[in-house]
Amino acid sequence: MNLEELVGDFAQNISAQTDAIWSRDAKTGNEHAKRYVAAYKKLRNHGDAGRDALAVLLEHPRMDVRVKAAIYLLSERPTQALPVLEEAAKSKGMIPFEASQVLKYWSEGTWSLDVD
């Protein structure tokens, strides 16, 4: 799978997880989470090229995809990720809440992405 396909897989599974959550289907949501984490790990293995590819999603039309990409890029690309999280946190709902929690941990210095 090339970088573009991995980014597409990441975005598609974020969207599918969100949709499953709204449908109260946690099992399906968890399966999609496993898939986007796997796609992220493959992107991460490509170093800066993988992060550059993932950063394209910071402008995705769906807020859930933008926020999740920002969360996964935050540690290495804070200047790109923080504005996305800050903008999302201004709204109400599940995704804005997630963004606000990440921002809280980031500002406290306790942020850590644990995908391994």
Instruction: Report pLDDT digits (tens) over 15-44.
Output: 999 999 999 999 999 999 999 999 999 999
pLDDT at 12: 98
Nearest to 14 by CA among 72, 91, 87: 72
pLDDT at 30: 94
With 0-12 / 13-18 / 19 or more C-beta atoms within 10 angstroms meaning exposed / middle / buried, residue 115 is exposed
Total domain count, the chain: 1
Tell me, what CATH number does 102's domain have?
1.25.40.70
3-class secondary structure, 92 = coil
Owning domain of residue 36: 3-108
The DSSP call for residue 31 is H
Contacts of 89 (CB under 8 A, 6+ apart): 96, 99, 100, 103
Is 36 a member of any domain? yes
CA pair distance 26, 106, nearest whole angstrom: 27
CA pair distance 116, 29, nearest whole angstrom: 19
Stated pTM of the model: 0.93
pLDDT at 96: 96
